[in-house]
Amino acid sequence: MRFSTTLIALATAASANPLNTFGSERQSLVRRDDLAIPGDNPLKYCDTDHKDDIITIEKVDLTPNPPEAGTTLIIEASGTVKETIVEGAYVKLQVKYGYIRLISTQADLCKEIKNVDLDCPIEKGKISITKSVDLPKEIPPGKYTVEADVYTVDDEHVTCLTATVIFGGKKSFGSILGDL
């Protein structure tokens, strides 16, 4: 699994999964309107308290938004890292297609972030990422939901993001005729 795949999956989603499906002990809830990540994107924070998160995401822009199969997706993100993140940090990742779980895994964050030209340690301070990703034309149509819950090597919460996107929306009658 590549971090860019995870980033694409997160970046290509449209509404939040209100459940933390990894059984986290974090219980306090935040207001639903506080969950949206700023920028032109479908990302939301998971429905938990984020006051102690190690990363604050300031903005994420996707072009195009919503993402489309067969196009190049450009992801521009910025934020602030409050504490240095070292080797051993990990992400719990879940990807669903409709109600079917495609992926439920834990990955080494430091290994995966190399796909967006970053290395561990991720130093404290401002951070920016720009990544272009070619989305395949063959993405099966349907609703995809992604959740990524990130932790340090010492199990401190870094952040949790969720997103949903629908690929292959309804074609208009005119576009169907044009395909004939």
Q: pLDDT value at position 175?
A: 40
Count other C-beta atoms under 10 Å from residue 30's C-beta: 14
Q: pLDDT value at position 55?
A: 96
Helix (H) or strand (E) holding 58: strand 55-63
Residue spans of alpha helices (H) in the chain: 3-11, 109-112, 173-179
Instruction: With a cut of 90, say whether residue 17 has pLDDT above it.
Output: no
Q: pLDDT value at position 72?
A: 96
Q: pLDDT value at position 29?
A: 47
Could you report the per-residue pLDDT of 151-173, keeping only the tens digit for each? 999 999 999 999 999 998 654 33
